[in-house]
Amino acid sequence: MRLSRRQFVELLAGAGVSTLASSWLVDRVFALDAEGALPVAPGPGIESWAPTTCGLCPGGCGLEFRRIDGLPVGVRGFAPHPVNRGRLCTLPHAALQMLFSPDRVRRPLKRTGRRGQGSWEEIGWDDAEAMLLDRLRKLIRADSRTQLAFLDGRPPGLGRHVAAGFMRGVGSPHHVDAACACADRVGRRMFGWDRAPGADLENSRVILLFGFDHLETDGSPVWQNRVYAEGRGDLAGRPTYVSIGPRLLGSAAKSEHWLPARPGTEGIVAVAIAHVILEHRWQDQRFLEDHTDWAESGGAGEAGLHRLLTVITPSVAAEIAGVPAARIEETAGLFVEHQPGIALAGAGTSAAPTGALTFMAVNLLNVLVGAVGRRGTLVELPLLPLGTVWEPTADAGRDTAPNAITTIPQLTEALLENEPTPIDLLVVRGANPVYDTAMSRAMRRGLASYDRMIVVFAEQMTETALLADLVLPDATFLERWDMLTGTPLVPPGYALLQQPVIPPLFSVRPSEEVLARLCNSLGELSRVRFAETGGEQIAERASRGLFADRRGRLQGVPSPEAAAPAEGPEGFWRGYRASTVWAFDGIPASSRPRTQRIAMAPGRLLGLPEEPTPNALRELFSPRPLGVTERYPYQLSVFRLMHFRDGATTNLPMMMEQAGHWASIMWATWAEMHPRTAAEAHVGNGDLVRIASELGHIEVLARVSEATPPGIVAVPVGFGHTSGSTAAGVGANVNLILPSPLGDPLWELAGRVTRVNIVRA
């Protein structure tokens, strides 16, 4: 029931003072409405602040929500938090718009019409869970456990761990990471570490950013903004930032140097820098001999590293990347001279077909100069010691199997080709692959089949949820429990508590609770049993692992109560809830490579053919954009905005209003291009232009600027949704004109390199 203010006043006047005290009226005043939404009338106006961890990017910032009578009305950075120290980026300011969005999925929805038609029947949770359980039981009884796939958009942490338990319980290895895991994979293969390499940026003197957008979208932007800003002291003492990539606007604008490399060519620039380092014998020979397989990495059959470094000279790289050879040589000198330093590859590179190679090449630079395991260089971060929340009841297998589907291209191939296995049941959470990857079109085709069941946990209706058989309303990060590991870019490694600042609205249930309950409801069919199925109980059990681990402690504790967690796990839990941060005591000494040797041979890493020719090595790092030059003379560069990231926050009105500040364009997609490019295409600033690749076209506004290299057209992702009351129909989705390479697990979300032409619309 909802009451208007007028009805409320009338109610008070009519009821009189004596009635005011009655429980009936008190219930009316303070109760939640039938949907479990907001209180129906103002309360006594009591202010409180609730700390939690932001869930809008993997950065791991601490937030504090201001609540009036339990309703969140504002947010600020959580001052004691070591990651953001009370500061914020733009995203959390729109968190309340996300929580109260008119597009929230409020109850479980069952498809009644054709796929994608948008016809739904609201059903209860019991019916929804029964549908899912039926399908799971059928799979298990038919010995088809591996026909379940789970596409997971949650960042690493407890929520992901719960889903892993669910998958182990059912018995499928196909737990797919919706984010690109290039850094994790290459880092793991090269360094043998459990996580992607961490970076001690605070103590670095030179930072090479290969498509790494440190101030807007990669890593932990708030942390990196502070590190950058605190380094802006005297000119003599400041760290040197070098951005390598096609776009100046954004992070590169604040770097000391910008090497305007063509899209997808950052990797070959890194190899050429390595060539210069070796040519001048600037490498850390002792480190190479002690800690790497450098000596044997030139052998035949492994795409010999030494051969690669001989072939890719600065002039070869200059031809492919469009960066003058002299700038490459100068950058090599800077990197060596100003050590300690770090070279980082970011999402801007991982999305190119050369992505995995770029990560390998950039890490190779770090290894060559011995920038590993020292102050101001790459460091190893340990895995979080989470307490046990689920346990195997039978042979639960392993997390990974030889043919496990772990990336979106692999999943798309499985959906389209039934290889390596048919998928009978697909569960999606926190991801929108039909919209936000270069696999967009292929994924839509893959989800068209009626033979399989598609279940989507969604906070808001998305393009992917529209194709589901069952949509389950998931909790936003303001309504759920989680423990996040944060990004490895913020050492020494954290367990960041996410806790509800408001109970779940409507009929929303956190997906962790649903998955744990489903797993237990399978009874003996499940190979895993959860000790608890409530969100808070799961988180509390997980926190016992932190309590027992002596390598870290609670951080930034704001109250004496939280500072004395020595009274056992319960006291620790109370302290953790007040602090929200547990951290390792420092970068572990073990980050120096120990027994394992850093694997440097690209052939071994990437499975290349034996005896590669110089041309093959050269081709290896060439992004080969789709389309012929004569017809499509320009290269498309795709970039992300802090306000939208991959498009998950586009539907928030505040973000839509402010996202275009770099171009001074609101509520529309733009294409940045050089005046010469614009003149060739007979386009003026602000004109509506059609940008076409071999796969289709989009219409966007031209933003003509000297900040974009000639021959390149830069377009942001995040616009062109077909779902969402704010986002639908605004601008164009650039993913639709990008190629969709299938199958190669190392290319991840590859494909963001294509040629285009431009004509006035």
Partner 1 sequence: MTRWGMVIDLDRCTGCAACASACALENNVPAVSREEAERGRSMNWLTMVHEVEGEFPDVHVRTYPRLCQHCEKPPCTYVCPVHATYVSANGIVAQIYPQCIGCRYCMAACPYTVKTFNWFEQTWSDDLRRVVNPDVSLRPKGVVEKCTFCSHRLQRAEEAARARDERLKESDYQPACVEACPAHAMFFGDFDDPDSTVSQAVVSRRAEYLLKELGTEPKVVYLRVRAPHAD
| Residues 171-200 as x/- pattern, contact with partner 1 by CB under 8 A | ------------------------------
Going residue by residue from 669 to 688, which x/- string records binding to partner 1, judged by CB under 8 A?
-----x--------------
Q: From the CB of 707, what's the least distance to partner 1, in Å? A: 5
From candidates 53, 78, 87, 312, binder to partner 1 by CB under 8 A: 87
Residue 653 binds partner 1, judged by CB under 8 A = yes
* Contact range with partner 1 by CB under 8 A, out of 131-139, 218-226, 489-497, 574-582: 218-226
In this structure, the number of other CB atoms found within 10 A of the CB of residue 542 comes to 25
Total of chain residues touching partner 1, rule CB under 8 A: 65
Residue 449 in tokens: 């089949």
Q: How far is the CB of 256 from partner 1 (least distance, A)?
A: 5
Of 24 and 667, nearer to partner 1 (C-beta) is 667
- What would the two tokens of residue 41 be? 């009338």
Q: Which is nearer to partner 1, 30 or 100 (CB)?
A: 100
Cβ-contact 640, 221 below 8 angstroms: no
Which of 215, 466 has the CB closer to partner 1? 215
Residue in 88, 371, 497, 701 binding partner 1, rule: CB under 8 A: 88
Q: Which of 20, 401, 563, 666 binds partner 1 (CB under 8 A)?
A: 666
Task: Please give the Cα distance from 230 to 224 (Å, whole number).
Answer: 10
Q: Nearer to partner 1 by C-beta: 19 or 685? A: 685
| CB of 89 or CB of 691, closer to partner 1 | 89
Give the list of residues 6+ apart from residue 657 with CB closer than 8 angstroms, or none. Answer: 666, 667
Per-residue interface string for the shown chain with partner 1, residues 696-735, x marking contact by CB under 8 A: ---------xxxxxx-------------------x-----
Question: Given 3-state DSSP classes, what are the helix, strand and coil percentages for the chain, each rounded to the nearest 5?
Answer: 35, 20, 45
In the complex, least distance from residue 25 CB atom to partner 1, rounded to whole angstroms = 20
CB of 91 to partner 1, least distance (A): 8
761 interacts with partner 1 by CB under 8 A:
no
**71: Cβ–Cβ under 8 A, 6 or more apart, which residues?**
38, 39, 502
> Judged by CB under 8 A, which stretch of 18-26, 284-292, 297-305, 649-657 contacts partner 1?
649-657
DSSP string, 109-165: EEE-SSTTS--EEE--HHHHHHHHHHHHHHHHHTT-GGGEEEEE-SPSBHHHHHHHH
Report the residue number, 90 or 292, with the smaller CB distance to partner 1: 90
Q: What angle do CA 560, 566, 572 make, to 5 degrees?
A: 75
**How does DSSP assign 288-319, residue by residue?**
HHHHB-GGGTTSTTTT-HHHHHHH--HHHHHH
The C-alpha angle 727, 657, 223, rounded to 5 degrees, equals 100
The answer to whether 68 contacts partner 1 (rule: CB under 8 A) is yes
CB-CB contact of 279 with 245 (8 Å): no
- What gap in Å lies between CA 3 and CA 40, rounded to an integer? 6
The nearer residue to partner 1, 687 or 748, going by C-beta atoms, is: 687
Range 40-43, long-range pairs (CB < 8 A, 24+ positions): 40/1, 40/2, 40/3, 40/8, 41/3, 41/5, 41/8, 42/5, 42/8, 42/69, 43/68, 43/69, 43/70
Q: Using CB under 8 A, pick the residue from 18, 23, 615, 664 that binds partner 1.
A: 664
CB 48 within 8 Å of CB 469: no
Residue of the chain from 36, 86, 192, 571 that contacts partner 1 (CB under 8 A): 86
Decide whether 225 or 407 has the Cβ nearer to partner 1. Answer: 225
How far does Cα 553 stand from its chain's mean position? 27
> Residue 615 belongs to what H/E stretch?
helix 614-620
Q: Which stretch binds partner 1 (CB under 8 A): 175-183, 458-466, 653-661, 694-702?
A: 653-661
Q: Which of positions 256-285 make contact with partner 1 (CB under 8 A)? A: 256-258, 260
For the residues of 175-232, what is the DSSP string, one character each?
Answer: EEESS--HHHHHHHHHH--SSSPEE-GGG-SEEEEES--TTTTSS-HHHHHHHHHHT-
Please tell me the distance from the alpha carbon of residue 385 to that of residue 485, in angstroms, as a whole number: 10
Among the listed ranges 192-200, 540-548, 657-665, 752-760, the one in contact with partner 1 (CB under 8 A) is 657-665
Q: Are 251 and 215 in contact (CB under 8 A)?
A: yes
> Taking phi first (over 0 means left), then psi (-120 to 50 degrees means alpha), and beta for anything else, what does residue 70 get?
left
Q: Measured from the CB atom, is 191 or 228 closer to partner 1?
A: 228
Binding piece for partner 1, criterion CB under 8 A, among 79-87, 278-286, 516-524, 553-561: 79-87
**By the rule CB under 8 A, 221 interacts with partner 1:** yes
Indicate the residue among 171 and 221 with the shorter CB distance to partner 1.
221
| DSSP result, 85-102 | TT---SGGGGHHHHHT-T
The C-alpha atoms of residue 662 and residue 659 are separated, in whole angstroms, by: 8
Q: Considering the complex, what minimum distance in angstroms separates the CB of residue 196 from partner 1?
A: 23
- Position 317 contacts partner 1 (CB under 8 A): no
Considering the complex, what minimum distance in angstroms separates the CB of residue 252 from partner 1? 9
Q: Is 215 in the site for partner 1 (CB under 8 A)?
A: yes
Q: Alpha-carbon distance 329 to 242, whole Å?
A: 13
Cβ–Cβ under 8 Å, residues 439 and 749 = yes
* CB-nearer residue toward partner 1: 103 or 152: 103
Question: By CB under 8 A, is residue 33 in contact with partner 1?
Answer: no
Tell whether residue 73 is a contact of partner 1 (CB under 8 A). yes
Distance CA 22, CA 20 (A): 5
For the chain, what is the largest distance between any 2 Cα atoms, rounded to a whole number of angstroms?
A: 93
Pairing status of strand 240-244 against strand 257-259: parallel
**Does 230 engage in binding with partner 1 (CB under 8 A)?**
yes
Identify the residue among 114, 280, 631, 661 touching partner 1 (CB under 8 A). Answer: 661
Please identify which residue in 102, 607, 686, 696 interacts with partner 1, judged by CB under 8 A. 102
Shortest distance (Å) from residue 505 CB to partner 1:
9
Task: With contacts defined by CB under 8 A, name the span among 246-254, 294-302, 348-356, 368-376 that binds partner 1.
Answer: 246-254
Q: Output 477 or 662, the one with its CB closest to partner 1.
A: 662
- Nearer to partner 1 (CB atom), residue 66 or residue 137: 66
Structure tokens at 123: 């059903």
**Residue nearer to partner 1 on the CB measure, 242 or 472:** 242
Q: How distant is the alpha carbon of residue 425 from its chain centre?
A: 24
Q: Strand, helix or coil at 670? A: strand
Question: Which residue from 22, 34, 74, 124 is in contact with partner 1, where contact means CB under 8 A?
Answer: 74
Residue 225 binds to partner 1 (criterion: CB under 8 A)? yes
Minimum distance of partner 1 from residue 229's CB (angstroms): 4
250/575 with CB nearer partner 1: 250
Closest to 289 in 3D by CA, of 297, 299, 279, 300: 297
- Determine the distance from the C-alpha atom of residue 27 to the mean position of all C-alpha atoms in its chain, rounded to a whole number: 43
At its nearest, how many Å lie between partner 1 and the CB of residue 222?
4
Q: Interface with partner 1 by CB under 8 A: which range of 152-160, 293-301, 417-425, 660-668?
A: 660-668
Binding of residue 34 to partner 1 (CB under 8 A): no
Other CB atoms within 10 Å distance of the CB of residue 285: 12
Minimum distance from residue 90 beta carbon to partner 1 (Å): 4
Residues interacting with partner 1, by CB under 8 A? 37-38, 45, 68, 71-77, 84, 86-91, 93-94, 96-97, 100, 102, 215-216, 221-222, 225-226, 228-230, 232, 235, 248-249, 251, 253-254, 256-258, 260, 642-643, 653-658, 661-662, 664, 666-667, 674, 705-710, 730
